[in-house]
Structure 1
Amino acid sequence: MPETLLSDLSVRPATAEDRPTVERLWLLFRHDLSGFRGVLPGPGAEFRSERLDSAFAEAGWVPYLMTCGEHPVGFAFVRGPTAPTRVLNSFFVVRGARRAGVGLRAVREILARHPGRWEIAFQHDNAPAVSFWHRVAREVAGDAWEQAVRPVPGRPELPPDVWISFVVPR
């Protein structure tokens, strides 16, 4: 199955027609993160969705949808794709496609589409994410990457995020 996932992987900008699919993936993403942040859904079982809304409505954002054949397997939101520093604002791969190389290949494709300086945040308590993002940084930038801990803007009740930064060559 992993070879099939990689051979069928498509990473493309998401369209307005893709938004309902990305919204469902967003709920899975936020559910995964809730375990590291202790965040509960709202009364209607919804999670905050400002980044999702921004990715589809604001200039300066590019939402991506990842599929394997007809199956949606993840998404990514790039903020500032032409800015001096691009931010991979959100990145998610469904559990059934993890550990098969899908995430690494998808993120490499996205980074290559927007060469330049990048920043990516993740949660220190999310051990698989720490391992994944350190691997991405090493594969993309060798030893030329940095890591810093920063507070979550406007959310003092949350633990700080870990940020990595590196340059993707043109």
Structure 2
Amino acid sequence: MKETASQAPTLFLMVGLPASGKTRRARELAAERRALRLTPDDWALSLFGQEDRHQERPDGKRWLLEGRLVVLAIEALRLGVSVVLDFGLWSRDERSALRWMAASVGASCEVVYLPVEREVQWSRIQHRWKHTPEQTFPMAEAELDPWRDMFEVPDANELSGSFLPSPPPADETWFDWAQRFWPSLVQGLNDAGPNHARRQAALRVCEAGSVPWEAVTPPRPQSEPVALVAVDRTRRAVLGNLGQLYRYDLSEAYGHLPNDDGSFNDRQLDRFLAGADPQHRAWLITAAGRTAGFVMTIPDPDGGTSISAFFVVRALRRTGVGRAAAALAIATAPGRWSIAFQRYNPGVEKFWSRVAADAAGDRWDMRDGPVPESRPPDTWITFTTAPG
């Protein structure tokens, strides 16, 4: 099954909608290339049954399973074994992250896209359910069009492997993005032993294919305990400095450029610092007594409270600081909460979904707002907390 010394292993990414023929082609590729085939549907049916198909909540079983299979795929590639990853991979970001990780261990990557017409797709789904229901999940025809709207067709660069885009603005590398999209990815590396932990560190800093697995990163700053410190007159300069870092983080997605003096505009922050909005509140986030970010809240026009700005410094992201700080802020005002974010960064959606689940269990809603002309549209999460 191992590739010859002169032939690098290949990661085959099977891309397509349900019933497009992905798994059949995956079996063919696995046989042709003596490759390891990883089809999460096979595992999910055995482990979770047919009732666990939809995984819209963070840390859902499907995401946890996929993260573990990605770990297995990367390990196989590192050992010289080609892998057929039969995930479907509807988003370009998923595919880009996997292409990056394959390159980081010296493997090539091929995107295998199988398009399917809607009528053919529905016919295949019906045939499967009629003749082999134990091998599939129940699907409704009403789901087909929304799925097609969500699916991002691979472009020429992906299919040729000629260009890998940069990760979203909030992520330094595609591995940063991947470990938030597949929550079990890092845990899977750690569970496999100390050598895997070192490989995880290497993935965080390497340029695709150019740095060995043994590369290391500096240790993270201490992240506990997390506290909020109300911003008074003595701390307004600190908030102003952090606000510039916050606006810089958003500048790529919003298309904003700095002023001639190198600063970014932030009207909301300026009004708070000037005392123009007495109902607005702001706290500095601290971790182990060190400045770690800030959070601002405003009254919601529909009642309750809204988080208007939230920022954690890069060195402390994905350490639990943000989640703890959000929980502390929400605890300051029991009642209705609304939180807006932009879907261009899927990690942000997962983060705020976890925060909502922490605060209200499964009693929270998500909806898309209107599309503005000058910036990415907002998606809103709303929930209500009880006193105490």
Say yes or no: does 1:114 pair with 2:337: no
Q: Deviations over 1:97-127 (max 9, x none)?
A: 1111111111101101111101111111022
Q: How does 1:86-105 map to 2 (within 5 A)?
A: 86-105=305-324
| Residues 80 and 41 (structure 1), Cα distance of their counterparts in 2 relative to 1, 3 Å cut | same
User: Is the 1:36–1:126 Cα contact (8 Å) retained in structure 2?
Assistant: no
Question: Tell me, which stretches of 5 or more residues in structure 1 are unaligned?
Answer: none
**Alignment partner of 1:66 out of 275, 281, 285:** 285
Q: CA deviation at 1:2?
A: 6.5
Q: CA deviation at 1:67?
A: 1.6
**Alignment partner of 1:6 out of 215, 218, 224:** 224
In the alignment, which residue of structure 2 is the partner of 1:163?
Answer: 380
Give the fraction of aligned pairs with identical amino acids, expressed as a percent: 33
Q: Deviations over 1:14-63 (max 9, x none)?
A: 11111111111111111111122222222222222111123331111111
Question: Tell me, which stretches of 5 or more residues in structure 2 are unaligned?
Answer: 1-218
Q: How does 1:123-138 map to 2 (within 5 A)?
A: 123-138=342-357
- Greater CA drift, 63-72 or 116-125: 63-72
In the alignment, which residue of structure 2 is the partner of 1:51?
Answer: 268
**Larger proportion of strand:** 1
Report how many aligned residue pairs link the two structures: 166
In 1, Cα distance between equivalents of 2:322 and 2:286? 11
In the alignment, which residue of structure 2 is the partner of 1:16?
Answer: 233
Q: CA deviation at 1:69?
A: 4.1
* Matched residue SS, 1:10: strand
TM-score (norm 1): 0.88
| Residues 3 and 69 (structure 1), Cα distance of their counterparts in 2 relative to 1, 3 Å cut | closer
* Matched residue SS, 1:65: strand
In 2, Cα distance between equivalents of 1:53 and 1:131? 29
In 2, Cα distance between equivalents of 1:120 and 1:2? 28
User: Is the 2:221–2:315 Cα contact (8 Å) retained in structure 1?
Assistant: no
* Matched residue SS, 1:5: coil
**Larger proportion of helix:** 2
Q: CA deviation at 1:95?
A: 0.6
- Greater CA drift, 141-150 or 118-127: 141-150
In the alignment, which residue of structure 2 is the partner of 1:42?
Answer: 259
Q: Which residue identity is paired with 1:165?
A: T
Q: CA deviation at 1:146?
A: 1.3
Q: Which residue identity is paired with 2:269?
A: L
* Matched residue SS, 1:158: coil
In the alignment, which residue of structure 1 is the partner of 2:248?
Answer: 31
Say yes or no: does 1:80 pair with 2:294: no
| Residues 151 and 19 (structure 1), Cα distance of their counterparts in 2 relative to 1, 3 Å cut | farther
Q: CA deviation at 1:142?
A: 1.8
* Matched residue SS, 1:4: coil
Q: Which has the higher contact order (CA 8 A, sep 6+)?
A: 1
